Amino acid sequence: MKLLINIFYLVFSLFFTGAEVSDDIVAAIKQGKASELVKYFDEKVSVKIINQEDVLSKSQAEANLQFFFEKHSVKNFTSSHVSSVNNSSQYITGSLETSNGKFRVSVLIRRNLISQFRIENDND
């Protein structure tokens, strides 16, 4: 019986915890708040902002995102796709409209932490 309860808890937490994290991440992007996004960053995160790409610490990634959001104030973010991969990873893609143009955003979440965050020019 104890094993059944543990399995139920594990399945329940996988399905519902991930959705909450992705909702919080989307909300932080919509608000252009680097400090809220960094709460979900892994210790090292692969970050690409326009043409600069590197593996950064949380504090370095926060500084780079803060600079981007200061230069490109967010008007709107629309999540176009959220998918789960192997029940341990999620992928979010969307369109970010800023004061200085449109960008594609993609986020890879593993174990409820962001391991990859990309902001690229939207070439419509």
CA quadruple 18, 24, 28, 29: dihedral sign: positive
Bridge partners of 53? 48
Query: For the domain 2-121, what is the CATH code?
Result: 3.10.450.50
Beta pairing, strands 113-121 & 41-49: parallel
pLDDT, residue 124, reads: 58
Q: Domains of the chain: which residue ranges?
A: 2-121
Residue 4 has pLDDT above 70, yes or no: no
pTM above 0.95, yes or no: no
Closest CA to 102 of 118, 119, 117, 121: 121
Instruction: Say if residue 18's pLDDT is above 70.
Output: no
Q: What are phi and psi of 88, to 5 degrees?
A: -125, -5
Residue 67 has pLDDT above 80, yes or no: yes
